[in-house]
Chains A and B, each alone.
Chain A
C-alpha cells in the first residue's frame, strides 16, 4: 500500500505529509509533477504549498502538469485522492472536485487554528470519524474561501458531499467561525464517488501532541483506511 505525495515546483508541505503518514504506519513516497505515472501508488495526496507559485490562479498551471493525467486515472479507478489546501485548489481546478477557492473574505492570509465539524463520513476524508465530531485543525491560506454555483451547492448538500464545515469550538456553524467567508462555511468536499476529497485546513499539522493537536489524525487515518479498502475491492 503506497501513497504518492506529489511535488509541484512551489509545493512546500510534501515532507510534512510524508512525515505524518509514516507516523501512522503509512508508506509514502514523493512523486515529481513532471512524472506521468505514480510509480505504482495506490493513492495520492496533493499537499499544500504554492504550486507553480500560484501564478495566474491557484492550481491553474498545476492542473496541466503531466502527473495530473495519472491522478485522473487513479481517481477514475476509485483509488483515494486527497487534496490538502493548495492540493484542494488543484483538484478543483482540475475538475476532480466541484467548486473553487477564492481569496479570503478579509483579503488577508490566515494562519490560525480553526474548528471544523464533520458533516459526512461518506468519503475518504472522514470515514473513520463520526458525524458531528469537532476537529481543531490549522488553517493556512490566502485563497481558502470556498465557492460554488447555487446548483452545485444544492447538489453537494443533496448528495452528502459537504464533508467539513467551519464551526466554533462547540460545533456551532457561525459567521464568526467561518473565518475566510466560505460559502455555507464549507471547509471540505468530496466527489460523487467519495474517493476524491479536499479540505483547506492541514490535518498533517495536527497529528502530533507536541504541536498542540492530534485532531488531524482521524483525517489521515481515514485516507489510509480508504487506501486499503480500495485495494481489497
Chain B
C-alpha cells in the first residue's frame, strides 16, 4: 500500500506557509507524504533553520587563531593552550518556560548540556540569564519561581554547577519571559568529536530515553510563533526532563569517546530524530536509512510523523562502526542506558525512513538540514525613533541622593540575587574560584594555573532605545566583567531574543543588534563562536524589546592567586575611579527607569579605544587589587554601595555633581586598593574616596546608613521569592 499523500492543509497546521509547501514539492518532484511534511515543518522552522536571520548572521566576526570550531556545530570550541579546549554555547527556552516554567527551564538546561558533551567536552558550568515582567505581579513571581526551581532541579541533579546569570525585569517580558542558558565544557584536544556521519555501513545508535509524545512540534509550533490567549493549549508541546537519565548519558558518552567508540555523535534536541539524522548525514555528505520500528517508544501506536518530530529529552544519536557495537551496547548497559540500532549510514545523501515495513519518507538529507528557504525580510527603522532620541530623559536640577540610591538598591534587578543562585549548586567540581554574586564568574582549570571567566549580559532597556549601541555596550560590559577577575576576553556566544521578524521594525532591530555586537567584538579582537536566534517573542501582537544576551568567555592566564572580590574592602583603603570622563549617560539607565520613570533618549556610543584600555588595565590590576568592580547598572552610587554592603564597611566618596553618581557611561571601573597605592598612569583615573565608617557617604550629596542599605538590598529580590 502506498502511504497517503499529505493534503495541502496539513502543512498549515504544522506551521508551514504555502510557499514552503510548494518548495518541498519542487525538491521532491511530488507531493510529500505526511511524515516527510512533518520533517520539513520542523527542520524548516525559524527555530531550526534561522531562515529570517541567517543572511545577516554572516556579519559576525568568527575567526581567530584560537577558534577550533566556529558557529554551525553544536557548540563553539576554542583552544586554551596546553592541550585544553573549551566548548561553549548559548540557547533560549523562552516559550516553553512561559507555558510550563519548571519543565521549560529544566529542559533548557538539559538541552544545552547535550550540545556541550556532543562535542566531546565535559560540561563544567551553566549560567542562566533571565528576564521577567515586574515582580509585583503574582504570575511573574510564579514564572520566576518555577524557572529557578526548574534550573535548580535539573542542573543540580544532573551534576553540573550553575554559576548564576543575571536578571532583568520589564513590562515587555510579562507575557513573554526570556529564559536563556549558557553552558561551558572542557575537553582535551584529542577528545573533540564532531557530528558529521561518515562511513557507509556504519550504524546509527540511539542512546538514552524512550521516545514519546512530549514536545511534538516544539521547534515549529512553540518556538517559532507568537503567543495568544490560547497558548495554554500548547502545553503538550513542552518536553519533560529527567536529569538522572541525562547524567548517565553524559557519563556513557564521555566514556565512549575515551574508548574511541564513536565516529560521530549528534544530540536530539529541537526536531528530534528528524534533525539528528538529517544533520549528521548532511554534514558528512552521506545518507541514512532509519527504521522507526527499532526506536524504543514510550507510548504505543505513535505515528511515523510523531516519532520523527518528538522532542523527548535525553537522547543522543551515535554513529559507530559495526565491529564496535557490542562494546557500545555493553557500556550503555553498565550505565542502565537503552541503546538501539535504528539505522545505517548510506552513500548518496538520501534520508530514507521505514515504518511498519514501508518507506514513509525518502528525501535528500541536505534539503532538510540546509535547504530551508532564506528570507530577506523587509526592514526599516521605526519612524518615531529619531524623535525619541532627541527627547532624552529630563533630569531634575537636584535629587535626594540617599533616597534615590535606596530605591535603586531595593530594585529586585539590582539588589541581592543570592535568593536565586543559592538554589543552584555552584561549587561542584571544586572549580569555582569566584562564585555568583560578583561581576564575572571565575573557574580554575585544575593543574594548569589558568582560569576561565564568564559573564552573561543583556540590557533590553538600553537596546530598546538604540539596538546597535545597546548591543555593543553589553559586549563591552561583559568584557569588563571578565577582566575584573583577571581574564582577557577570548570568545563570545550570543542569543538574539527579538519579536516577530515579519514586522520591518523588528527586522531592523535584528540587523542593528548584529551590527552592534559585531563592531564591539571586532574592536576587542574576539570571535563569535556560536549563537542562537529566538524570534517571535511577541504576545498578542506586542513584541519584546530587542534583547541580545551575550556570554563572554575570558581566559585568565595566569589566574590571579587572589582574584578581586566585592567583599574584600577594608577600612583605610583608597577608592579609585578609572576610565574616561563621566559624562551624563542616562538614556536606558537604571536611574531613569527606577527613580525618574523615564524610558527615552539615546544611550551613549561605546568608545573602543577607551574600552580596550580599561579592559587591559583591569586585567593588570586584577593581579593584586583586593576589589575591582565595573560601573554599570545604577552607576557609581550602586557600584560603591555593592562594595560597602558586601564588605560590610562604609565608604566616603566625593564627586562634583549628583549626576556623576548615577550616570552609566561605559568603560568605567572602581578599584579599591591600599591607601599608599598610586594608580595614576596609563589611563585616566582619579582617587575619589576612602573606605571606612558605617555609611555610604557621598559628602555634600548626602549619606545612606550601611545597615539600611544592606537591608534594602538583601530584601529586594528575597521578598518576591518568599
Contacts and interface: CB of A to CB of B under 8 A. Distances in A.
A8 B251 CA distance: 12
Interface string A134-145: 000010101000
B247 A50 contact: yes
Interface string B421-433: 1111111111011
A52 B156 CA distance: 14
Interface string A180-218: 000000000000000000000010110010111000000
B247 A16 contact: no
B433 A109 contact: no
B422 A15 contact: no
Given A49-B159, A50-B157, A205-B427, A9 B247 contact: yes
Contacts of A32: 334
Nearest to B435: A212
A50 B423 contact: no
Chain B interface size range = 20 to 34
Given A9-B336, A20-B430, A111 B425 contact: yes
B40 to A, nearest CB: 37
Contacts of B188: none
B157 A53 contact: yes
Nearest to A49: B159
Contact of B422 (A13, A19, A50, A112): A112
B244 interface: yes
A55 interface: yes
B407 interface: no
Contact of A111 (B153, B159, B422): B422
B418 to A, nearest CB: 8
Nearest to B431: A211
Nearest to B421: A111
Given A9-B248, A111-B424, A140-B427, A211 B335 contact: no
Interface string A36-57: 0000000000000110111100
Interface in A91-115: 108-112
Given A204-B430, A208-B430, A210-B433, A10 B423 contact: no
A56 to B, nearest CB: 11
Q: Contact residue range for chain A?
A: 20 to 34
B432 A110 contact: no
Given A12-B159, A19-B446, A210-B444, A111 B244 contact: no
B281 interface: no
A15 B429 contact: yes
Contacts of A20: 430
Contacts of A12: 159, 247, 428
Given A12-B247, A111-B424, A205 B157 contact: no
Nearest to B565: A212
Given A9-B244, A12-B428, A19-B430, A108 B336 contact: no
Interface string A71-101: 0000000000000000000000000000000
Interface in B233-258: 242-245, 247-248, 251
A12 B157 CA distance: 9
B424 A109 contact: yes
B152 interface: yes
Nearest to B159: A12
B430 A211 contact: yes
Contacts of B428: 12-13, 16, 140
Given A12-B428, A16-B429, A211-B430, A110 B423 contact: yes
B427 A10 contact: no
List the 5 closest A-B pairs by CB distance, nearest first.
Answer: A53-B244, A12-B159, A50-B157, A109-B423, A109-B152
Interface of A: 9-10, 12-13, 15-16, 19-20, 32, 34, 49-50, 52-55, 108-112, 138, 140, 142, 202, 204-205, 208, 210-212
Given A108-B149, A211-B430, 6 more contacts: A9-B248, A10-B157, A12-B247, A108-B423, A111-B426, A112-B418
